[in-house]
Structure 1
Amino acid sequence: MTKRSITPTLLGIGIGAIAGYIYYVEIGCVSGTCVITSKPVNSTLYGGLMGGLFFNLLASPRKKKTDSKT
């Protein structure tokens, strides 16, 4: 991984973690039987994981154009 791909991934983890916590606070799980949303730690970690994966997908390295003149 290069610095170019690490920075967006870390940004995605932060944004995802915040979104996961907001999801827990606003929607959550009243009964406590929901695996992800029953505890704030679970939803925050899950949100961070999903955010990191999504932003990493967007920050994939771009392929260099090759000059095909022969």
Structure 2
Amino acid sequence: MNKYFIIGLGVGLGLLGGYAYWNFVGCASGTCPITSKPLNSTLYGGLLGYLFVNAFVSFKQK
């Protein structure tokens, strides 16, 4: 598979996971820096998805 596809898939799943976390768990008081706004939570999830894929998938160069 193409490495950019795998990275994009990890980021996409992270974005969806971050938004789902904000939607279902969120922050009731509004003082949480990451989960108080959907944009923050979604971007944080995308970053975690990228880091997860980058840590566990090795991309060998020819």
Same-fold call, TM cutoff 0.5: yes
Cross-structure match for 1:58: 56
Match of 2:18 among 6, 13, 20: 20
RMSD: 1.9
Q: How many residues align?
A: 62
Which segments of 5 or more consecutive residues in structure 2 lack a partner in the other structure? none
Structure 1 or 2: more helix by fraction: 2
Cross-structure match for 1:35: 33
TM-score by length of 1: 0.77
TM-score by length of 2: 0.86
- Which runs of at least 4 in structure 1 moved beyond 6 Å after TM superposition? none
Q: Highest Rg: 1 or 2?
A: 1
Which segments of 5 or more consecutive residues in structure 1 lack a partner in the other structure? 65-70
Identity of aligned residues (%): 52
